[in-house]
Structure 1
Amino acid sequence: MKRIEEIDALRGFALFGIIMTHMSAGFVASLTPPQYAGFNFKLPIDSVSLQIIENLFLGKFYAIFSMLFGLSFYLILDSKKESSPWRFAWRLVLLFLIGYLHHIHYRGDFLTVYAVFGMILIPMRKLPNRLILVIGIFLALNGPTNLMKTISLFQPPAEVSQATASGPNPVELAMSYYQLILDGEYQKLLVSNSTIGFINKYDYLKFSGRLWIIPGLFLLGLWIGRKKWHENIDKIPLRKLTLVTAIIGIPLVLLNYYFSTPAHSEPVRLLASIAKDASNIFIPLLYIALVIQLYQSKRTHRFVRSLIPVGKMGLSTYVIQSAFGIFIFYGYGLGLLLKLPCTAALGLGLLFFLVQILFSNWWFSKYKYGPLEWLWRSGTNGKWQPFKKNKEA
């Protein structure tokens, strides 16, 4: 199957946004204890950097990555009648195992999440296109969470039971986790991430709505594949898509920015939350349209093409980014979590991503697959795949 360069470039672009988002948060992936609030705010410019990440990065780039995952599902399984769903399920099991090793080192891992939610796509591929689109939009907009929040506005506040009040304190758990990171307790971190870490991940998925949003984005990616948009990129009205998504998406971002503060009433904050969820669809579509236009432009084509190798080895790129972040921030690395300003962390993230671009371009001059992609493909096929490129070719 011939690879589509624009898809690899978009995946590389998404990985740029992902590392920047994680660097701004110190690669912690946890609730910040009150005593460490604003730990990455040390310079006046940090407030600007944090606002940029919060409003233009957070939730946007993983949305692109998630839609591309759904599109990949279509390319691997849904578009081929002879493809075995069991083989794809096995592929996801292997992804979960890779993700598990990643998760016990970095609690913010999303490979295990993708592996679990990816299983949902197998039975749902039987649904008609229109139903997939409707369900995908409802879930991607965090429909279930926002519906429950809306209903709760008309109900009296529930009393907190003694059992609930005596449960684990999230702030204490976060403080304990931060301390492990700061002290560089490697073995204890592995144990924490492999136990309470999975509970924290589920709580975050539920709290943030990504429990619904990620499957929704998968379905939208599947729908895009079925519509053959990836095969007819030249026919997509990119300028119109850019204009429409900007006109809708930018006001949604501003709406959330101005009305999500505690100073506003609960109904207003709910409206801001809904606007944020919607912006996490329209802004990624805006980014996608812009990147493809830059790819098609003679002036910027070469620059965007440099993202292709990074996206082509997306799994390896993502895991290597985590290794870099852990080395920078955790106690058993440089231990800079409470010392590095947000803006400086973002600068390091950008610099490292540029290194990844150079590395991936060099890598594919010698090898056919990224290292983890080769391992994943070999495990899926049940035999070692050719790794090095044929010199004669």
Structure 2
Amino acid sequence: MQNLTIKRIEQIDALRGFALFGIIMTHMFEGYLASMTPPQYLGFNIVYPLDRFAQVVIQNLFVGKFYAIFSMLFGLSFYLILDQKKGSSSLKFIWRLVLLFLIGFIHHIHYRGDFLTVYAVFGFALIFFRKVPDKIILILGLFLAFNGPSMVTNSISLLQKSRQETVQIIKETKNIAFNNSENNPVTQANAYFDLILKGEYRKLLVSNSTTGFYNKYNYLKFSGRLWVIPGLFLLGLWIGRKKWHEKIDKIPLVKIISISALIGIPLTIVSYYFSKPTNTEIIHYVGSIAKDASNIFMPLLYIVIFLYFFKLSSTNKIVSQLIPVGKMGLTTYVLQSAFGIFIFYGLGLGLLLQLSGTVALGLGFVFFIIQILFCKWWFSKYRFGPLEWLWRSGTNGRWQSFKITEIQKIE
């Protein structure tokens, strides 16, 4: 029975490590910009023909996919931490989220693409679903994960043609004044891009701790992640309630792979072709629905394929290398941001406008391999990752045992 528990935890950690691989590859290709690219710098990472291909791959097979896996695992972790332990205190979990927000805040003021603060804020909502019936959690989780609220509002907007035309006239009337305003997104993007290139540390901290949070909220709202992330949390909670993580051997992985591929791949293709700027508004609308749906089915496809490889004896040893990375997920994620800032920002090497997207992907891949080796070495000596240890110690209100003793090594 003990071996089954260890295996279950290893699968979760390995999946988390897999998600972190996709996250660093996405952010490396984007130059760890986490902001709108100014018009004059569009395509700054497209240097070689191969970069154009890499862009298509990243935008369609990476963006929105791996963070979805990470988000579902967060909801599952909520179940494992709070609901699986008898007598667990909601207040303790809230304190844990407060500490996560503080860690995320420090991370955010250096890299505004941080999602730790977002997870901490949305994580509070999970407390209210602790005793909600499974059926409601599943229905609401699916509605939010598929970006249902945005779909509803976009549908209403399409039906109100006359109102849209009126709004458009008003926008065009104010266009000149808006372009000269400091609130213009292009103006803000230029200012932030300039901060990154110049490496003005103090100004960067001020910008990220003020405008950065406002821009993050706007991005969450515009992209639909304001709804999608809580939905993914709820789906992860539902998976925990159903104890799928304990019954992986009984899950028909091959069947789910076939179904998710038959649905997810066509949706991704539709999203790609329907999202082009030259398309009409209605085609864009269909493309946005396809994109939101593909961001559910493709992560599902990735998860079941990964679990299938984890299950096979011939590939288990390879995918198991991701276990230490996932076990040290918080530290791994923050170190990835530190690496990206060092490579691209003026604070470090300042290579944002000098690296092609493909070269950046290569650097990200090499650094991730280094992280695998580092995490494997680290856990041969220590019980927790550095940030995980601080987080756990703060949560429990006392310093946790850090080093592995000789007895623990033997066990």
Give the alignment's TM-score, normalised by structure 2.
0.94
Among candidates 168, 171, 175, match of residue 190 of structure 2: 175
Give the corresponding residue for 1:197.
212
Q: CA deviation at 1:334?
A: 0.4
Matched with 1:259 is: 274
- Letter of the 1:20 counterpart: M
Q: CA RMSD in A?
A: 1.3
Matched, 1:106 2:111: yes
The residue number in structure 2 matching 1:129 is 134
Match of 1:140 in 2: 145
Residue 152 of structure 2 aligns with an amino acid whose one-letter code is L
Using the TM superposition, give the Cα deviation of residue 146 of structure 1 relative to its aligned residue in structure 2, in angstroms.
1.3
- Code of the residue aligned with 2:57 in structure 1: it is I
Is 1:370 aligned to 2:375, yes or no?
Answer: no
- 1:21, 1:374 → 2: CA distance? 27
* 1:262 shift after superposition: 2.2
Distance 2:249 2:284 in 1: 40
Aligned pair 1:77/2:82, yes or no?
yes
Q: Find the residue that maps to 1:293 and give its secondary structure.
A: helix
What is the CA–CA distance in structure 1 between the aligned matches of 2:306 and 2:174, rounded to whole Å?
53
Amino acid across the alignment from 1:6:
Q
Is 1:40 matched up with 2:45?
yes
**For the residues of structure 1 that align with 2:325 and 2:182, how far apart are their CA atoms?**
44
Q: Which runs of 5 or more residues in structure 2 are unaligned?
A: none
Q: Give, in angstroms, the shift of residue 283 of structure 1.
A: 0.5
Runs of 4+ in 1 over 3 A off after TM superposition: 159-167
Bigger fraction of residues in helix:
2
The residue number in structure 2 matching 1:335 is 350
Residue 244 of structure 2 is aligned to residue 229 of structure 1 = yes
User: Which residue number corresponds to residue 17 of structure 1?
Assistant: 22
CA distance in 2, matches of 1:358, 1:15: 15
Choose which of 288, 299, 302 in structure 2 pairs with 1:287. Answer: 302
Distance 1:219 1:81 in 2: 21
Contact 2:46–2:357 (Cα < 8 Å) also in 1: yes
* Structure-2 separation of matches of 1:139 and 1:61: 17
Give the letter for the 1:216 counterpart: G
Deviation track 1:229-264 (CA, whole Å, cap 9, x = no partner) reads 001110100000100000000000000111111222
Cα-to-partner distance string for 1:247-305 (whole Å, 9 max, x where unaligned):
00000000011111122211111111100000000000100001111111111111011
Given that 2:383 and 2:402 are in contact with CA atoms closer than 8 Å, whether structure 1 keeps it comes out as yes
CA distance in 2, matches of 1:78, 1:28: 37
**What do residues 299-339 of structure 1 show as CA deviations (whole Å, max 9, x unaligned)?**
11110110000000000000000000000000010000000
Determine helix, strand or coil for the equivalent of 2:13: helix
- Deviations 1:324-379 (CA, angstroms, capped at 9, x unpaired): 00000000100000000000000000000000000000000000000000000000
1:350 and 2:355 are equivalent in the alignment: no
* In structure 2, C-alpha distance between the alignment counterparts of 1:46 and 1:8, rounded to whole Å: 31
The aligned counterpart of 1:360 is 375
Q: What is the match of residue 232 of structure 2?
A: 217
Please report how far the alpha carbon of residue 380 of structure 1 lies from its aligned counterpart in structure 2 after TM superposition: 0.2
Give CA-to-partner distance per residue, 1:178-231, whole Å, 9 cap, x none. 000000101110010001000010010001000000000000000000000001
Partner AA of 1:146 in structure 2: M
Other-structure match for 2:93 = 88
Partner of 2:34: 29
Q: How many residues align?
A: 393
Is 1:6 matched with 2:11? Answer: yes
Match of 1:318 in 2: 333
Q: TM-score, normalised by structure 1?
A: 0.98
Query: Once the 2 structures are TM-superposed, how far is the Cα of residue 81 of structure 1 from its aligned partner?
Result: 4.1
Task: Give distance in 2, aligned partners of 1:167 and 1:8.
Answer: 44
AA aligned to 1:114 is Y
Task: State the SS of the aligned residue for 2:347.
Answer: coil
Distance 2:274 2:117 in 1: 34
Q: 2:132 aligns to what SS in structure 1? A: coil
Mapped partners of 1:138, 1:229: distance in 2: 21
Q: 1:382 aligns with which of 397, 402, 405?
A: 397
Equivalent residues of 2:253, 2:308 under 8 A apart: yes
Report if the CA contact (8 A) 2:182-2:188 is conserved.
no
- Using the TM superposition, name which of 20-29 and 2-11 deviates more: 2-11
Identical-residue share of aligned pairs (%): 66
SS in 1 for 2:362: helix
Unpaired stretches in structure 1, ≥5 consecutive residues = none
| In 1, Cα distance between equivalents of 2:131 and 2:243 | 17
Alpha-carbon distance in structure 1 between the residues aligned to 2:185 and 2:154: 21
